[in-house]
Chain A
Amino acid sequence: MEEASEPVGRVLGTADATPLQFWTAVTPGSYLQLDDVVVTTRDLPDREPVTIAGVVTQVRARHEGAQFDSDVFAIADGTLPALVQEAAEITTTRVDPELYVPPAPGAVVQRASGEARDAALHFDRMERRVPMGTGRDGVPVFLNADFLDGTRGAHVSISGISGVATKTSFATFLLYSVFRSGALGADGTNARALIFNVKGEDLLFLDHENTKLDDSTVAGYKLLGLPAGAFPDVRVYAPPRAGDSSGAPDVNSRLTGVDSFYWTLEEFCEKRLLPYVFADADDERQQYTMVVHSVTAHLARHAVPAEGGISIDGRRLGSYGDMVDHIVDQLTDDETRSTWAGSAVNMGTVNAFARRLIGSKRDLSRLIRGDLAARRPHQIKTAESAQVTVVDLHNLPDRAQRFVVGVTLKTEFEDKEKSGTGRPLLFVVLDELNKYAPREGSSPIKEVLLDIAERGRSLGVILIGAQQTASEVERRIVTNSAIRVVGRLDPAEASRPEYGFLPPAMRQRALLARPGTMFVNQPDIPVPLCVEFPFPAWATRKSESGPPPAGTMRSIVQGADPFAVVGGRSGSPDDDIPF
């Protein structure tokens, strides 16, 4: 824990020095900035000396010898003698051995580097370290993988204002680091990621090289022990184009390697997906929930597959619209209503249900299909997909987004439950968590997300949730996140108790954080670390994307590659048929 280097000051005695926080007067000619790591020792009788390490959480400079504010003019004029004295507040991060004694005023404080710095930030105790960027001093800082993969904790909660907080960029960088750093060993390589792209098409190019990548960024990646490149194995799903009977994916900028996803009517009935159509938080408060559940049960029991569509009560239904119309007909008919909705339901409730069901036709008819081949691959399944699965939602209306997120997460989570093993890890990146798991009310999606937050750790499902305001997200999800990350915050938001882990000075800094700067709090370091993560090495928009990777040229929708070796989706060139 030694090897501390240059002395930068002394513990001052005009303010209380405590074991957890103390002030240091900075030697003239030296400086300390926020986030610098320092170390000092305290000699004890009959014991080995205690090493106290900490990070700078506040720095101040003042004129000593000045009594009045206006004295500064006399001092600047050269008539009043005064001394500029800087002092830094140190928040203790580590006491070794664990004897909580205050440092003695007058003790020399040294800037920590090398091993001393690693020890101060507990990096030396991390068996598996995931690089997540560099500190203010330009040296890498790490995340303890134990708190990411479920060994001792799981889930990441990222908060910050949209646009400047770079929440999604940090989430993708973290994934990249997990996949490519090797810190998680085989778990890292086998891990899967499910990313929901809710805004723009910027996550659709994860597998494209970034043509704007410059040498300094490459050097930045190298410093972190990472190669600079695109995600190697990505599969992109997009919803079918509205009104297009061929089911071609609805994307504008990315043209190759995009598969469309949808659900057949048969799956819709059999897997009881109807409740996810009513996934608004306020839907759950309404009386018609009862109707939803009995209709769901009826569909599951009576629907029979019929050439892509379903057949129910002897009628073939070929589209979501047809099915909705049929259900509404049956419910409004006095004779059939009780078989669909039960007997104790009054007409008002049925009408409320019918109104919303009809309203969902426009949003969901392109996702729930009866006209496309059931054999055609159309489901989002991370286990069968690539390492990174991107689900594009940005073209979908709100109700459809909720449906896709809810159903996909439920399916994935159920698959994990069935497999009964926590491996391979599945990272789920979901932005706008406050929409899917709001603090108030309940909805089927929120139930799934709560399930993931509370049980996902043991099942190997890791939620990387991002939101503008953590205060509006279900508290149990936030408290279950072992790793809390904060980018630029809104001033009113920063004062909420959800950010209590930020010391006051850091809370203020979060209001000014630049894009690319995050404050990361992890359980075994008592102070959040300020992290700057490098610019993405993959393309984030069409204009900076390099040529598409070869594997994407033969996506399923674009027609199967007749020369591809069976089972070798992104197979190596050696496996190619040699002609």
Chain B
Amino acid sequence: MTRMFVDAWDPSYGASFEGGDAGEGPASPSTAQTDTNTDVEVPAAQWAPIDVPAGLRAPDVVFLVDGVRRNDAGLWTAEEDGQSYAGLAASYAAGVVRCDLRNGVAELVGARIARGLFTASPSAADLQAGSVRYEVHRVSGTGEASKLPAAVQPPLTAFEIEISGDARAHGSDGADLLVVDGPLRNRRQLPRTIGYVKTQQKQYLPASLTPVVTSLRPGQRTPVFHIGTTWGSWSWYLRLPGASGAPWSGIVRVECSPDLTPEQAIELAGLSGATLPRFASSAYKDPRAPQNLVPIAGLERRLRGLLGDARVLHRALTLATARLR
């Protein structure tokens, strides 16, 4: 009989990986799969799970960066010529947690909050709603309502990069580690930084190597491989502790900048194996356990608190726009 496992993630968050037809790993093989180089650390034929090197300790200081966003209200403009554009008032914030593992202190070292009005309307101006100001971000193109949420991402990413640099500015000992939530993409210039991908949607490895991933035990990782997409990177899979036992449960993909040498990438891979498992969350506390890391979850809660109360903002926006008419 087929063995079954309940996915640890809350169903409203989707699944931690999107299963493919063959049922052996993430669906939709990456277009870049052909560019994947699996012979970086060991030849593909000799692939096997790798343990954390003995004696390797997690760095004393780990920075974790994340951003949150919330759509405060959807708007419609009424232009002079009778046209109407969709608008999106959104609040977004990015923050850095500095986990000092030696002293046992995790603190928010940097947070930045902004609010924006995203619209394609050529005539829209900044919107003052009560005590907060929604700065206008003009979206190119027709600006359909469904496209607007994606427009929030670039300024948020810019924030994350900015405060990651700021956090390191005071007090980097050169041995710390910066963990970015999600793929690195354009954040690759940050030093000693790894991207942390919670959901596995694309299959980067050839089917023959999938069993190596599924046979990982908690804390083990696959050898480093190279992905050759637009945002190319060094990457590896890692299994976090506290997974349900399903083949792809607790698997995360970690990546680092392709500009690094393979040796540097392998060093970071080892370090990630020593560091990330202790941040794994437990299922009863987090609907996305274990992939949603404890500091990230704490950071997101703090940032959401900083975004302000959604109802208050919604009412302020309603009042502000009513006054404009």
List the interface of chain A (C-beta within 8 A of B).
Answer: 65, 67-68, 70-71, 74-82
| Binding stretch for chain A, among B99-107, B139-147, B163-171 | B99-107
22 of the cross-chain contacts (CB-CB < 8 Å) are A65-B301, A65-B302, A67-B301, A77-B101, A77-B104, A77-B278, A78-B99, A78-B101, A78-B106, A79-B99, A79-B101, A79-B106, A79-B279, A79-B295, A80-B294, A80-B295, A80-B297, A80-B298, A81-B97, A81-B107, A81-B298, A81-B299
Chain B residues with CB below 8 A from A67, complex form: 285, 301
At the interface, yes or no: B108 with Cβ under 8 Å from chain A?
A: yes
Cα distance, A75 to B295, chains bound together (Å): 9
Q: In the complex, what's the smallest C-beta–C-beta distance from A379 to chain B, in angstroms?
A: 75
Which residues in window 292-306 of B have CB below 8 A to A?
Answer: 294-295, 297-299, 301-302
Are the C-beta atoms of A81 and B302 separated by less than 8 Å?
yes
B101-122 vs A, CB cutoff 8 Å, 1 = contact: the mask equals 1111111100000000000000
**Which of A67, A71, A79 counts the most chain B CB atoms within 10 A?**
A79
List the interface of chain B (C-beta within 8 A of A).
Answer: 97, 99-108, 278-279, 285, 294-295, 297-299, 301-302
Cα distance, A65 to B106, chains bound together (Å): 11
Chain B residues with CB below 8 A from A70, complex form: 285
Known contacts A65-B302, A67-B285, A74-B294: A81-B108 contact under CB 8 Å: yes
Q: In the complex, what's the smallest C-beta–C-beta distance from B133 to chain A, in angstroms?
A: 21
Chain B residues with CB below 8 A from A75, complex form: 106
- The residue of chain A having its C-beta at the shortest distance from the C-beta of B106 within the complex is A81
Q: In the complex, what's the smallest C-beta–C-beta distance from B196 to chain A, in angstroms?
A: 14
Chain B residues with CB below 8 A from A77, complex form: 101, 104, 278
**Which of A74, A81, A82 counts the most chain B CB atoms within 10 A?**
A81
Cα distance, A379 to B105, chains bound together (Å): 75
Chain A residues with CB below 8 A from B100, complex form: 78
Are the C-beta atoms of A65 and B103 separated by less than 8 Å?
no
Are the C-beta atoms of B106 and A82 separated by less than 8 Å?
yes
Q: In the complex, what's the smallest C-beta–C-beta distance from A66 to chain B, in angstroms?
A: 8
- The residue of chain A having its C-beta at the shortest distance from the C-beta of B293 within the complex is A79
Cα distance, A77 to B278, chains bound together (Å): 10
Cα distance, A71 to B298, chains bound together (Å): 10
Cα distance, A77 to B58, chains bound together (Å): 13
Chain A residues with CB below 8 A from B104, complex form: 76-78
Chain B residues with CB below 8 A from A65, complex form: 298, 301-302
- The residue of chain A having its C-beta at the shortest distance from the C-beta of B105 within the complex is A78
Cα distance, A305 to B279, chains bound together (Å): 99
- The residue of chain A having its C-beta at the shortest distance from the C-beta of B284 within the complex is A68
Cα distance, A550 to B304, chains bound together (Å): 80
- The residue of chain A having its C-beta at the shortest distance from the C-beta of B100 within the complex is A78
Chain A residues with CB below 8 A from B102, complex form: 78
Cα distance, A469 to B103, chains bound together (Å): 51
Cα distance, A289 to B174, chains bound together (Å): 97
Cα distance, A77 to B298, chains bound together (Å): 14
Are the C-beta atoms of B101 and A82 separated by less than 8 Å?
no
Q: In the complex, what's the smallest C-beta–C-beta distance from B153 to chain A, in angstroms?
A: 24
